[in-house]
Amino acid sequence: FEFSDSDNRYQINPNPNPDQRQFRQALFGEDMHSGFKFIGRVLGKALRDSQLIRAHFTLPFYKLLLNCPFVFDDLQETDPEYYASLKYIREHPAEELRELEIIDYFTTDGPGGEEVELKKGGKDVLVTDENKDEYVELKANYVMHGRMAKERQALLNAFNEVVDLRDLAAVDPQELELMFSGTPIISLDDWEANTDYDQYEPSDKVIRWFWEIVKSWDHDKQATLLQFVTGSSQLPAGGFKCLMGASQGNGPPIIRRFRIRKLPGHELPRAHTCFNVLDLPPYKKRSQVSRAMDIAVEMGSLGSVSYTHLRAHETPEHLVCRLLLEKKKKKKIK
């Protein structure tokens, strides 16, 4: 995959360089399509199990999964430069374009530089003002689909092994993106309304302080708290009432609402991401809640960190600082 030029969304890379091909071969062997099959199955399982993925794809990619037809304007997101050149062809006379050697016959260059007919007998069909729109549509479709047809079909077939396309008949590409990646929008009213409490009541001081503090934060800090407790900074399309968590046995994930549970005898909150549970000590002062939640957010930004990482005589604040420094050192080494 690669980032699209338009808005940094993932799309299939049509022209991997030698290093990328070698890496793909090291991962998946001689079958160059097995990687696409693997991705198709992973995406299918994520969708089937309502597991959000931290990636967004281009609109044509979602159309591919839904088996929706492409249109010319889809190319603008996939390859803006190619889109602009084809738009130029649409808007200028064929004779002028032929003099500039921009158009000729209904052919294009394939991935290996070979000539590819855009339609049957295309090498003998001259592009004219009368058929120019057809030429542009066929060339756009080849860029978005034809030049990677085998790879795309391998991914789609694997995806459909896990998800029945008929189950997505009423879903459009924008809705499919929400189903895959959730929404970054966090509604505090929705969050509070869909929170359960264990040994706490919504009217308890600690709980009121908690919501006052979280509501005072900016979106990024709220998202990091969500990451700390649930393992994801994104929400399902249905919001907090549709938060997913682990099942009791080996079954698929089930809906588990956000829960705040009393944690006596501890200095700092802790999270159980499999169950969307935040253990919150019964603090006596609002400032204690604020300090504790700040540390929790810092730990959420560091990923999988728990208080078991504390060294002897090390405070939680020192732990966060130490891990941040270690993270920066690792980046420099890379």
Q: Which of 68, 242, 274, 321 is catalytic?
A: 274
Active site residue 274: yes
Q: Spell 79-116 as b/e; 16+ CB within 10 A means b.
A: beebbeebbebeeeebeebeeeeebebbbbeeeeeeeb
Distances (CA, A) of 314 to 219, 238, 287: 30, 41, 21
Amino acid, res. 241: K
Helix (H, G, I), strand (E, B) or coil at 90: helix
List the structure tokens of 111.
């991935």
Query: Are the beta carbons of 321 and 253 closer than 8 angstroms?
Result: no
Report the alpha-carbon distance of residue 70 to residue 257 in Å, rounded.
Answer: 39
Residue with tokens 């204690």: 288
264 DSSP 8-state letter: T
Distances (CA, A) of 267 to 13, 30, 195: 49, 54, 23
User: Which residues 6+ apart lie within 8 Å of 148 measured at CB?
Assistant: 12, 14
Report the alpha-carbon distance of residue 48 to residue 160 in Å, rounded.
Answer: 11
Where in the sequence numbering do the catalytic residues fall?
Answer: 274
